[in-house]
Amino acid sequence: MATAVAHRFLRAAVVKKILRDLIPRHQIFTVTFIKENGDLRMMNCRRGVFTRVTGSTNRASRPNTNRADRNVICVFDLKENDYRSFRADKVLIIKTSGVLIQAAEEE
């Protein structure tokens, strides 16, 4: 029988503010979050990546940012070499330039 684990998530507004104001667009950062299926995932990624598509067209390949849910953050996963996304309200930890940001323990 699986045991439920209580997670301390960063607030979505805090995650978006960190990404907007503290991490430059092309800087690599690590985000630890809970996936939609409940799995824990740690991803090294960056924002602002627009790669060229190889083949018959020369159009820029961009992430799908036309999402109705503004809590979905699209990034470029450096390990998978492809775009991935995560929910801002499911982030546990953000690490960049040796700085670790996580939710405070409740007293």
Which of the two residues, 103 and 15, has the higher pLDDT score? 15
Q: Determine the pLDDT at residue 52.
A: 47
Mean pLDDT confidence for 4-27? 90
3-state secondary structure of 18: helix
**pTM of the predicted model as reported, rounded to 2 decimal places:** 0.79
Q: Determine the pLDDT at residue 47.
A: 92
3-state secondary structure 87-103: EHHHEEEEEECCEEEEC
Mean pLDDT confidence for 79-106? 92
What are the pLDDT digits (tens) for 30-87? Answer: 999 999 999 999 999 999 887 644 443 434 455 555 556 789 999 999 999 989 999 9
| R_g of the chain, CA atoms, integer Å | 15
Which of the two residues, 49 and 102, has the higher pLDDT score? 102
Q: Determine the pLDDT at residue 68.
A: 62
- 46 near 69, Cβ under 8 Å? no
- 63 near 50, Cβ under 8 Å? no
